A and B are shown apart, each in its own frame.
Chain A
Amino acid sequence: MNEPLSISVHELTKRFGDFTAVDRVSFEVRRGEIFGYLGANGAGKSTTIRMLCGLLSPSSGAARVADTDIFQKPEEVKRHIGYMSQKFSLYMDLRVEENLEFFGGAFGMWGKKLKKRAEYLLDRVELLDHAQMLTGRMPGGWRQRLALACAMLHEPEILFLDEPTSGVDPRSRRNFWRLIRELADEGTTVFVTTHYMDEAEYCDRVGLMVAGRLPALDTPSELKKTWVPGRMFMVRGIDSTRALSLKRRDEILAVESFGTGYHVQTSDEVSSPGDMGKMLQMDKREQVEIEEVEASLEDVFLRVIASFHKDNTSQEDS
């Protein structure tokens, strides 16, 4: 991690009247890193991104994006970044290449250089054969890729993507993320927000945002180690009384309903599905499935939210 810093944020805060949308958030992102920003709707993800893109003026704190102070030179920031807003906002009545030409022109690009760059990007996002298509006629996944191409025209150092894959089918999402990984490997810094937990796994580091705060920030595997220590078993086929009864045992750290069954988190002493089965004192006739699973970021997210709310309540009590 010797790459230079692309983004550094210190105690960044945004207030709208009495409401604090982003509350003293601090983090750093290095060049070529994919930084994921995870959180529920309204947690402050978009507000953070808009401040970093020079679209919203921050209330307090400090932040530099591509070596530019966002408080002092928000317009300068725009030259170095590409931004894809949450709401799809290309022009539906323009053709694919017309959208690219317009946004290229908006960045002051012109003529051959713009044409070459647009062609290159269309090839990259696999839309070269559809350059003449009306944007409004394309499926969501294609539009998203076109929007990415538009944001990449001026070869930005940093890409800000605000929920780029919302409303896009799973296969397109996977393709999209492959593209993002390629861009990052080529040295583009990517700051991406999402509320899909599985997508966060693609990120080098993930920040979890809850109610304007940033209580957890690390690589996905470190986050799991810190927030969900021990082992994790997926148990299907037990009822809720059985599941809750497990909680009384010392080796069991947590039981949470997850999909069609329960995620049971244990200390390292419980080392196999067999150990887990013994604890459940199963009847032979019972159809219980037990498998060891890796903790997901969703588990992490649930823990973070739970501990955040506990902290906040205890603060209010004291």
Chain B
Amino acid sequence: MRAFFRRVAAMAIKETTHISRDKQVIYMALGMPVVLLLLFGYAISFDLDLLPMGLLDRDNTPESRSLIQAMTASDAFEITKHLDDPNQLHEYFKNGELKTGLIIEPGYSKSLKRNETATAQLVLDGTDGTTAGIALGYAAGVAQAQNLRNMEKLGLMAELPIQARVRALYNPSMDSSKFIVPGLIAMILAIMATLLTAITVAREWELGSMEQLFSTPVGRLEILLGKLIPYIVIGIVQVLLVITIGSILFDIPVKGPLYLLFGTSFLFLACTMGQGLFISVLTKAQMVSTQAAMISTLVPTILLSGFMFPIENMPWPLQALSYIVPARYFIDSLRGILLKGNGFSVLWPDILALGIISLVILAASTARFKRRLD
């Protein structure tokens, strides 16, 4: 057993020396996560931010202006064009100058005063489904609030019979970065971890040093563990880096216990690095394994992890597939730890799943790792 640890240590020291001599690996390991986080953190947003809106106010009364003001009160919409004709919207939607239009017909205020149904028309550019959906929800909310206020003024009814009081817990301003950044952290860690380890075994095959290694009593598991250890340390540094930047730039809190944050990160790194090793063991070539690593982490981490698309809405085969994607469990626990302050009692199923996946992948790599040349 002592010999086992000595050999693992020898491998780990050697691997650390390789890394310390290779500036590219260091730049990649510490620079790439920052670049990716900034890039994606600012690029991906589900919040409406000054969506250009065209306005045609044919009523032009205090009531209609009150509606317009309500619409533009937050920074969701911004009136950038005043229209003379509703048909102008087509032109502006086509050239992309406008995304929405608000048309208030004459008689809006009269209908309101007579307690009849008053109509204001919201027109949306449906080609961008996500934005249109969010805009629609927002506008509906504004209209309802406006209704209540008018009814109150008329002294008709102080409250609606059923009133849904919407309050988004853990993310009161419904800030999408709070939702995205944990997923981003998982994606960045997954890419980096798989890439870094996918190269390492393949490189030994290409250099011919694998043959020399095989002539020593070093075992397969010892080779894999020795290679894993320094990269896990790098991975933990990446976690620290990304969480720090996340909390500074995107106001991501860390409400849960730190030991859980690092514990789940460690298990997730073990899964993704194990995946990289597995690829490396199979392909034995650096070029192929790099590409395989990119595809095999990016696609599932983005599509099947709940990062962007809710797993509950997927058809059942994809849902089933998502159970073997480690990012699914990691993103869930990250959101829990960072935003909700969840503890072990809530997160243990995620932790268990990550533990099982990492053991399975490491076992599979060891099994597929032929210690002989034939």
Binding site for B on A (CB under 8 A): 16, 50, 53-57, 74-75, 78-79, 81, 83, 85, 87-91, 93-94, 98, 101-110, 150
Contact = CB atoms under 8 A, between A and B. Distances in A.
A81 B374 contact: no
Contacts of A109: 6
B87 interface: no
B10 A101 contact: yes
Interface string B203-229: 000011111111111100000000000
B14 A102 contact: yes
A105 B207 contact: no
B373 interface: yes
A104 B18 CA distance: 17
Nearest to B222: A106
Interface of B: 3, 6-7, 9-11, 13-14, 17-18, 21-22, 207-218, 372-374
A56 B17 contact: no
B6 A108 contact: yes
30 contacts: A16-B374, A50-B373, A53-B215, A55-B211, A55-B372, A56-B372, A57-B374, A79-B217, A81-B215, A83-B212, A85-B215, A89-B207, A89-B209, A89-B211, A91-B207, A93-B22, A94-B18, A98-B17, A101-B13, A102-B13, A103-B216, A105-B7, A105-B10, A105-B13, A106-B11, A106-B217, A107-B217, A108-B6, A108-B217, A109-B6
Contacts of B208: 85, 87-89
Nearest to A59: B374
A78 B210 CA distance: 14
Contacts of B216: 78, 103, 106-107
B209 A91 contact: yes
Contacts of A98: 14, 17
Nearest to B223: A106
Contacts of B372: 55-57, 74
A150 B7 CA distance: 15
B7 A78 contact: no
Nearest to B218: A106
Contacts of A54: 215
A75 B207 CA distance: 23
B197 to A, nearest CB: 18
A59 B209 CA distance: 25
A133 to B, nearest CB: 14
A105 B9 contact: yes
Given A55-B373, A56-B373, A105-B10, A91 B215 contact: no
B373 A91 contact: no
A56 B372 CA distance: 6
Contacts of A103: 212, 216
Contacts of B7: 105-106, 108
Nearest to B15: A102
Contacts of A57: 372, 374
Contacts of B17: 93-94, 98
Contact of B213 (A74, A101, A104, A106): A106
Interface residue SS majority, chain B: helix
Contacts of B209: 89-91
Contacts of A102: 10-11, 13-14
Nearest to A53: B215
B78 to A, nearest CB: 56
A107 B210 CA distance: 15
B14 A91 contact: yes
Given A56-B373, A56-B374, A89 B212 contact: yes
A88 B212 CA distance: 9
Q: When A and B form their complex, which 4 residue pairs have the shortest distance between CB atoms, in order from nearest?
A: A105-B10, A83-B215, A87-B208, A108-B3
A88 B214 CA distance: 14
Residue from the set B14, B214, B216 with the largest chain A CB neighbour count within 10 Å = B216
A160 B17 CA distance: 28
Nearest to A16: B374
A102 B11 CA distance: 7
Contacts of A88: 208
Nearest to B4: A108
Residue from the set B11, B17, B214, B215 with the largest chain A CB neighbour count within 10 Å = B215
A85 B22 contact: no
A247 to B, nearest CB: 47
Nearest to B19: A93
B374 A75 contact: no
Contacts of A81: 215
Contact of A78 (B6, B13, B215): B215
Contacts of A75: 217
Contacts of B217: 75, 78-79, 106-108
Contact of A106 (B10, B18, B373): B10
A103 B215 CA distance: 10
B214 to A, nearest CB: 6
A109 B209 CA distance: 19
B211 A94 contact: no
Contacts of A53: 215
A263 to B, nearest CB: 38
A89 B212 CA distance: 6
Contact of B6 (A50, A55, A105): A105
A160 B372 CA distance: 17
Nearest to B10: A105
A55 B373 CA distance: 6
Contacts of A85: 208, 211-212, 215
B46 to A, nearest CB: 46
A182 B181 CA distance: 65
Nearest to A147: B212
A75 B219 CA distance: 9
Given A79-B217, A89-B210, A91-B207, 20 more contacts: A53-B215, A55-B214, A56-B372, A56-B373, A78-B215, A81-B215, A83-B215, A89-B207, A89-B209, A90-B212, A93-B21, A94-B14, A98-B14, A102-B13, A104-B10, A105-B6, A105-B10, A106-B10, A106-B213, A107-B217
B220 to A, nearest CB: 11
Contacts of B6: 105, 108-110
B14 A87 contact: no
B373 to A, nearest CB: 5
Contacts of B207: 89, 91
B346 to A, nearest CB: 43
